[in-house]
Amino acid sequence: MNFYTSLAHIYHDMYQDLFDYDAEFIFYDEWLTKFEARHIIEFGCGTGNLAKRFVAASYKYLGVDLNQEMLEIAKKTIEATYFQQGNVINFRNEKSFDAALITGRTISYLVNDDEVSDALINIHKILKKDGLLIFDLIDAQPLFDTFDTSTKELFTGKYKRISRSIPRSDKRWTWDWESTYYEINDQVESTCIGNDTATLRAFGDEEISEFLKNVGYDILHKIPKTSYTWQGYFLVCQKTSG
Ligand SMILES: C[S@@+](CC[C@H](N)C(=O)[O-])C[C@H]1O[C@@H](n2cnc3c(N)ncnc32)[C@H](O)[C@@H]1O
């Protein structure tokens, strides 16, 4: 996968138009405020689009991402001390947190069940008593009920993306996503600037509930999330044991 490495700058430019970071920040801020959670960790923080909003709102914030290239972009506008490179599966820090967020559907990249369990266990260990876990996921049912394998074309700013999703037969609710990126030179001309392939996963309602229950979280709320593609929802969870 290179969308989050060599193509990180394209992600950063394109997703300003595809994700509504203002609305996402308001969503997280409301829940965090409700539970008086000020010391937070964001996994899959990417290029820092939410980070800058949390920092501006005086949260005690730490952003963690697997890919240094994404963090390098974040560090151009936000102080480097707010970020660390790491994997949600095993990232440890000497501190414990009031809340952990896994944002921008980052959990979709944990394709194996062991990775999902490990991430939830790891977060459980770094949360304070009664700490919050808030994350968004892709809903398996609507996606796989009528899986669309057609080629999609999407335009944002000076970029065009051609993409296609192919369901995998070896593992339920996973698919390979191929995308090619073009820079638009003028109305008709465009130059190919890179491509990416990634395996992604969606979750069934019962499946994610089981994962969370087994590790020791209560699901407090399930909230639909509007998205330009792959419908999903947020889960607001609370650490219950351990
Ligand atoms: C779709 S992007 C979301 C980025 C950011 N949250 C946003 O909304 O713009 C997914 C991010 O998850 C990161 N990521 C993927 N797997 C990860 C893992 N196992 N641990 C931490 N970060 C991961 C990628 O590097 C990428 O930055």
pTM of the full structure: 0.97
* Distance (Å) from CA 47 to ligand 1 centroid: 9
Strands (DSSP E) found in the chain: 39-43, 60-65, 83-85, 97-102, 127-138, 152-156, 159-167, 174-184, 190-201, 217-225, 232-239
Q: What is the pLDDT of residues 152-183, one digit of tens each?
A: 999 998 899 999 999 999 999 999 999 999 99
Q: At residue 187, does pLDDT exceed 80? A: no
The reported pLDDT for the residue numbered 180 is: 96
Q: Which part of the chain is CATH 2.20.25?
A: 141-200
State which fold the 141-200 domain adopts: N-terminal domain of TfIIb (2.20.25)
Q: Which part of the chain is CATH 3.40.50.150?
A: 8-140+202-239
In angstroms, the first-to-last Cα distance of the chain is 36
* Distance (Å) from CA 87 to ligand 1 centroid: 9
For residue 169, give every residue at least 6 positions away whose Cβ sits within 8 Å of its Cβ, in sequence order, or none: none
* Distance (Å) from CA 104 to ligand 1 centroid: 7
Residues with CB under 6 A from ligand 1: 4, 15, 19, 43-46, 49, 65-67, 70, 87-89, 103-106, 109
In this structure, the number of other CB atoms found within 10 A of the CB of residue 154 comes to 15
* Domain 8-140+202-239 CATH class label: alpha beta
* Residue 141: both structure tokens together: 């049912």
Q: What is the pLDDT of residues 23-43, one digit of tens each?
A: 999 999 999 999 999 999 999
